[in-house]
C-alpha cells in the first residue's frame, strides 16, 4: 500500500489542473434524464449514442490526484486517531444524510495507471478451487437434514418463476427459507442444492452459511439460513433510494458495508472458494448494518435483469464481469474442480467488487442501463466505464477506476483495497 501511495504522489498533478481536466471531460456527456432520490419512476439514465466514446486520460489523472490527496489527509488524521483504529468499527446511525440527486452513470476512461504490488512467491498463489455444481450436494446436506415439522413458513418474501424465499421459524428461531415450486426441473433442483450449500461449513461473520435442510420432497427441497431482518442488500438500497422506511445512509455507512463485504470475500478466497457473483443482490443486511455474503442460489430467477445468456452459454452476470471474462470467457478454464487458483481470477473478482462499490453509491442502480449486453465487451474494450455517481467521494471513485483497469495486473490487490477503505473510513470518522 505504501508503494502505491508513493506512485500516486509522483504522478498526481496540481488541484487546479486536475479540476480543469475533469470539467472538460464531463462536458462531453449529455444527460437525457436525471434520477432523484425518492423518484421511483425513473430507474436509469438514458444517453445519446454519441456519448459512449473514449476520452483521454483525464479521468485517471484525476483519480491519481484524488488518491494522493486522501493519502496526505490520512497521514495527518492517523497521528490523531491511533487509538480509534484499535477500536471495533461499529456501524454509524442512520441519521447522517447521504444525499443522491442527479445520477450520471456512464463515462469513458482509458486506463493508464499501474498499481505496484509486492512480489509474492508463486507457491503462495496456487490453491485448489471448488465448484459446488460439480460435487454431490446431498453429501453436504445429509448431515444438516431436519424434520419438516420443525419448520414453519410464515411469510413469502420474494418469488420468481421457480424460486421462493420465505421468512419462517426453525424451532423458536427466526430463519430464512429458500425453496422451489413444482415447475422446477431436475437440473434446476440439482443446481439449487449445489449453489445453496456452497458455503457449507464456512465460519465468518460476513458470510451467511446454511443452517439446515429438508429433503423430504426431492422436487421441492428446503434450505434454511439465519434470518437477517433487513433482507437482501440490493432491495434494501432500492428502498433507501425511494425513501421507503426513511433510512438515510451516510458515506461512512457505505464504506463500512464495503469493508465487511471485502472481508467476506477475502475469507472465501482463503477457503479456496472463487466466488464469481459478487454483487449487492448476493448480500444480506440487518438493522445494525451488518452484512453477510450469501450464495447465489435463486439469484438468476429472482433478479433476471442482472443476468444474460451470451453465445448460448449459461446465464451470467454480464454487467459485473471483467473485460477479459466478457471477451475471452477466462472464467471457464480455471473453474474446473482441482484447477489452479490463478492470480488472474482474483483480478477478475476485483472488477466485480468495483461494480459493487458503484452499486452502493448509487443505491443499487442498474449498471450500463442502456447498453446492450452483447455489445458491452466492445464498449469496455474501447475505454467506456461507469461514470462517477453524484455524491460519491472522489477517493472512493478512484478505487473503482483501479478495479476496472484494462489489464488485470494493473488492478489492486485485495489487501491494498482493504487498507485503503479502512484508512478512508478512519478519516471519515475523524470529521463526523
**CA pair distance 90, 383, nearest whole angstrom:** 38
In DSSP terms, 174 is beta-bridged to 169
Q: Which residues contact 131 (CB under 8 A, 6 or more apart)?
A: 335, 336, 337
Alpha helices in 32-97 (DSSP H): 58-80, 82-85
Task: Count CA atoms closer than 13 A to 101's CA, side-chain side.
Answer: 1
Look-up of cell digits 463485504: 261
DSSP-H helix ranges across 121-184: 137-142
Question: Does the annotation flag 282 for ligand binding?
Answer: yes
Q: The C-alpha cell of 89 is what?
A: 468499527
H helices of 81-147, where?
82-85, 137-142
**217 is a catalytic site residue:** no
How many CB atoms are located within 10 Å of the residue 40 CB? 13
Q: What's the CA gap between 250 and 363, in Å, rounded?
A: 11
Instruction: In whole angstroms, give the CA distance from residue 335 to residue 129.
Output: 7
Report the alpha-carbon distance of residue 162 to residue 220 in Å, rounded: 10
Cα dist. 199→210, 292, 429 in Å?
Answer: 7, 12, 33
Alpha helices in 167-312 (DSSP H): 186-196, 233-241, 251-270, 299-302
Interior CA angle at 231 toward 225 and 235, to 5°?
140
Cell readout for 137 is 450436494
CB count in 10 Å sphere of residue 3 = 12
Q: Is 281 annotated as belonging to a binding site?
A: yes
Q: What sign does the dihedral 210-211-214-215 (CA atoms) show?
A: positive
Strands (E), 12-102: none
295 annotated ligand-binding residue? yes
Output the nine-digit C-alpha cell for 223.
Answer: 434450505
Q: Catalytic pick from 277, 286, 287, 372?
A: 277
Buried b (16+ CB within 10 A) or exposed e, 269-302: bebebbbbbbbbbbbbbbeebbbbbbbbbbbbbb
CA gap 338, 322 in Å, rounded? 23
Do the Cβ atoms of 155 and 166 come closer than 8 Å?
yes
Annotated binding site: 281-282, 295
- Residues annotated within the binding site for Mg(2+) are 282, 295
Q: Which residues are catalytic?
A: 277
Q: Which residues are annotated as a binding site for ATP?
A: 281
Amino acid at each position: 500500500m505504501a508503494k502505491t501511495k508513493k506512485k500516486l504522489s509522483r504522478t498526481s498533478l496540481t488541484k487546479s489542473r486536475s479540476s480543469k481536466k475533469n470539467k472538460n471531460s464531463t462536458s462531453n456527456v449529455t444527460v437525457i434524464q436525471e434520477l432523484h432520490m425518492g423518484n421511483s419512476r425513473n430507474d436509469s439514465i438514458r444517453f445519446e449514442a454519441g456519448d459512449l466514446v473514449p476520452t483521454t486520460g483525464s479521468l485517471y489523472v484525476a483519480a491519481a490526484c484524488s488518491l494522493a490527496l486522501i493519502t496526505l489527509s490520512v497521514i495527518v488524521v492517523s497521528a490523531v486517531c491511533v487509538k480509534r483504529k484499535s477500536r471495533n468499527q461499529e456501524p454509524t446511525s442512520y441519521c447522517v444524510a447521504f444525499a443522491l440527486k442527479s445520477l450520471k452513470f456512464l463515462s469513458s476512461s482509458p486506463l493508464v495507471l499501474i498499481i505496484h504490488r509486492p512480489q509474492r512467491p508463486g507457491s503462495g498463489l496456487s490453491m485448489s478451487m471448488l465448484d459446488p455444481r460439480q460435487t454431490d450436494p446431498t453429501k453436504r446436506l445429509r448431515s444438516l437434514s431436519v424434520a419438516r415439522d420443525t419448520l414453519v413458513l410464515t411469510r413469502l418474501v420474494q418469488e420468481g418463476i421457480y424460486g421462493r424465499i420465505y421468512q419462517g421459524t426453525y424451532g423458536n428461531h427466526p430463519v430464512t427459507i429458500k425453496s422451489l415450486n413444482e415447475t422446477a426441473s431436475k437440473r434446476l433442483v440439482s443446481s439449487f442444492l449445489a449453489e445453496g450449500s456452497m458455503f457449507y461449513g464456512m465460519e465468518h461473520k460476513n458470510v451467511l452459511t446454511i443452517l439446515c435442510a429438508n429433503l423430504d420432497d426431492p422436487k421441492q427441497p428446503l434450505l434454511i439460513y439465519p434470518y437477517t431482518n433487513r433482507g437482501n442488500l440490493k432491495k434494501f438500497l432500492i428502498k433507501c433510494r425511494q425513501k421507503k422506511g426513511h433510512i438515510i445512509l451516510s458515506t461512512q455507512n457505505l464504506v463500512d458495508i464495503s469493508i465487511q463485504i471485502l472481508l467476506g470475500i477475502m475469507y472465501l478466497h482463503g477457503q479456496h472458494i472463487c466466488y464469481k457473483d459478487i454483487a449487492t443482490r448476493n448480500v444480506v443486511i440487518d438493522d445494525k448494518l451488518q452484512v453477510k455474503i450469501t450464495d447465489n442460489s435463486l439469484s438468476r430467477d429472482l433478479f433476471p435483469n442482472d443476468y444474460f445468456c451470451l453465445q448460448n452459454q449459461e446465464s451470467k452476470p454480464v454487467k459485473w464481469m471483467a473485460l477479459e471474462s466478457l471477451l475471452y470467457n477466462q472464467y471457464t478454464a480455471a473453474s474446473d474442480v482441482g484447477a489452479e487458483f490463478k492470480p488472474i481470477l482474483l483480478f477478475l473478482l476485483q472488477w466485480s467488487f468495483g461494480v459493487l462499490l458503484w452499486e452502493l453509491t448509487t443505491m443499487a442502480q442498474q449498471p450500463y442501463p442502456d447498453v446492450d449486453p452483447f455489445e458491452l465487451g466492445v464498449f469496455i474494450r474501447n475505454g467506456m466505464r461507469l461514470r462517477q455517481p453524484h455524491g460519491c467521494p472522489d477517493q472512493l471513485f478512484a478505487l473503482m477506476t483501479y478495479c476496472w483497469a484494462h489489464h488485470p495486473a494493473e488492478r489492486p490487490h485485495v489487501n491494498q483495497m482493504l487498507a485503503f477503505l479502512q484508512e478512508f473510513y478512519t478519516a471519515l470518522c475523524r470529521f463526523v
